[in-house]
Amino acid sequence: MADERLFTPEERQLYLTMIDQVGTAWIDVFEGDTEFYSAAYWDLLTEIWRSPGPVRKTDALKFMKAIKSAHTAGKYIDEAVRVGLIVESDNPKDARSKLLTLSPEMRGRLDRFFDRALSLVVETGKEVEP
């Protein structure tokens, strides 16, 4: 990788500042509730957001890459359902499974979060241009 650009300490600082701002924006998604400031919720909610339709609960359990126990992953999902971030419904194609979707409010919050995060990336990119 001889053509890989090395960045200055100042540019690396800009990157860290941007990441801090994205982290703050993630907390804002949950109106300051830091319980949801975790990689498990990041993985769960962004993967459901990414899905074109409802996801099976058993598939969503696997979205949380750092959680190895299905039982523990289920607790995260149950909490997200309890507070209204995710909506759980019966699967009309398989009575043995449940489907998960983001609540309309959470989808809107995530849309606004991604817009903010991408704006930060663009702003920072302009400051780090070669």
The answer as to whether 20 is a domain residue is yes
> Is 42 contained in some domain?
yes
pLDDT averages per 10-residue partition of the chain, 130 residues: 79 96 94 90 97 96 95 96 97 92 97 97 90
Domain CATH number, residue 112 = 1.10.10.10
Question: Residue 3 domain-assigned?
Answer: no
Position 5 scores a pLDDT of 77
Q: Taking a C-beta distance cutoff of 8 angstroms, is the pair 53, 102 a contact?
A: no
The pLDDT score that the predictor gives to residue 116 is: 97
Position 114 scores a pLDDT of: 98
In total, how many domains does the chain have?
1
Contacts 24+ apart (CB under 8 A), 114-117: 116/22, 116/25, 117/22, 117/25
Residue 41 domain-assigned? yes
- Domain for residue 4, yes or no? no
Please name the amino acid found at residue 37: Y
Instruction: Domain of residue 98: give its range.
Output: 9-124
Q: Is residue 54 part of a domain?
A: yes
> What are the residues whose beta carbons fall under 8 Å from the beta carbon of 65, sequence distance 6 or more?
39, 43
Residue 26's CB is within 10 A of a number of other CB atoms, namely: 20
Residue 27 belongs to some domain of the structure: yes
Determine the pLDDT at residue 54: 97
Specify the pTM: 0.89
CA distance 64 to 70: 9
In a domain, 111, yes or no: yes
Where in the chain does DSSP place strands (E)? 55-56, 86-90, 98-102
Return the H-helix or E-strand segment holding 13: helix 9-29
